[in-house]
């Protein structure tokens, strides 16, 4: 390379980079305000994003005082949920809430994907490459309406991050149920009681499973936990133990 060429090309790159920012200013993935460095999340949004606390009841995922983690919490001592372990990556709050709503309602997945990538160290602690990820199934009409299977997409991102396997056929939704957000607690439970089943060929779907592989139900938001409860119960009835991981969870404290 000619003397000075490298310096010149570096200067040119800087100039082009500056022009790119002028023409297409980078916006924060969460609030769309300009971000002046190469980041995709502005400082204000970064401050508002809350990682879900790690001191939780291992079984149900409620937040516990540090000294009491990993539980079991008082509720699990009386009535343990059907899943073995429950985790969430973020609190369902502020920019995380906005990101999930934008993804689910407007099909803008950038911020949700970024949240998954940002959680990579935590994900690698939890999910091993032999593990199998099962997307929480949605009623067919809802998938047809949005044109997307959000939890299947979430599983794909998690699989990419961790090397885990995906199995979207194993856990199935039966019939149509109204949106959970429109129902009260007891109506939610009644609504979901018979909403999940395993595929008739679930044994052959799991034939290649490594002996120590964990099964994970993957969902986007954990609010009351009714959906994962009944999905995990359907699995447990056939002798399959599962863990639960959600992208976000409304913070719940237990003792
Ligand atoms: Zn922002
Ligand atoms: Zn618990």
For 210-233, what is the mean pLDDT?
A: 94
Per-residue pLDDT reduced to its tens digit, 137-179 = 987 666 666 667 899 999 999 999 999 999 988 999 987 666 6
Cβ atoms within 10 Å of 163's Cβ, excluding its own? 13
| Ligand 2 centroid from CA 17, angstroms | 51
């980078």: which residue's tokens?
A: 26
What pLDDT shows up at residue 3?
A: 45
Q: Relative to the alpha carbon of 45, which ligand is closest?
A: 1
- Protein residues placing their CB within 5 Å of the ion ligand 1: 28, 30-31, 42, 45
For the CA of 81, the nearest ligand: 2
Residue 10 has pLDDT above 60, yes or no: no
User: How remote is the CA of residue 66 from the centroid of ligand 2, in Å?
Assistant: 14
- Cα dihedral sign for 105, 110, 115, 119? positive
For the segment 117-130, the average pLDDT, to the nearest whole number, is: 96
Q: How far is the CA of 27 from the centre of ligand 1 (A)?
A: 8
Q: Phi then psi for 22, rounded to 5 degrees? A: -70, -40
Distance between Cα 79 and ligand 2 center (Å): 9
pLDDT for residue 239 is more than 70: yes
8 pLDDT above the threshold of 50: no
pLDDT per residue over 65-106, tens digit each?
Answer: 999 999 899 999 999 999 999 999 999 999 999 999 999 999
213 burial class (0-12, 13-18, 19+ CB within 10 angstroms)? Answer: middle
**Count of all residues that appear for the chain in the document:** 255
253 has which bridge partners?
A: 63
């Amino acid at each position: 390379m000619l003397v000075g060429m490298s310096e010149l090309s570096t200067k040119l790159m800087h100039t082009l980079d500056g022009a790119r920012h002028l023409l297409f200013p980078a916006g924060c993935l969460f609030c769309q305000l300009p971000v002046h460095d190469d980041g995709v999340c502005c400082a204000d949004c970064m401050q508002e994003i809350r990682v879900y606390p790690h001191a939780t009841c291992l079984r149900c995922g409620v937040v516990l005082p540090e000294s009491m983690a990993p539980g079991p919490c008082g509720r699990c001592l009386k009535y343990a949920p059907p899943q073995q372990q429950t985790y969430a990556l973020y609190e369902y709050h502020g920019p995380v809430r906005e990101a999930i709503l934008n993804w689910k309602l407007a099909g803008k997945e950038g911020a949700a994907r970024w949240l998954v990538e940002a959680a990579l160290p935590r994900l690698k602690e939890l999910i091993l490459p032999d593990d199998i990820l099962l997307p929480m199934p949605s009623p067919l009409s809802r998938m047809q309406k949005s044109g997307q299977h959000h939890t299947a997409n979430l599983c794909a991102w998690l699989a990419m991050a961790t090397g885990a396997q995906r199995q979207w056929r194993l856990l199935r939704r039966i019939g149509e149920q109204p949106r959970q957000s429109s129902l009260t607690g007891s109506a939610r439970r009644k609504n979901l009681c018979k909403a999940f089943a395993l595929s008739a060929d679930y044994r052959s779907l799991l034939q290649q499973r490594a002996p120590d592989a964990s099964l994970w139900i993957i969902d986007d938001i954990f609010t009351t936990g009714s959906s994962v409860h009944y999905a995990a119960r359907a699995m447990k009835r056939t002798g399959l133990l599962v863990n639960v991981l959600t992208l976000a969870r409304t913070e719940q404290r237990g003792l």
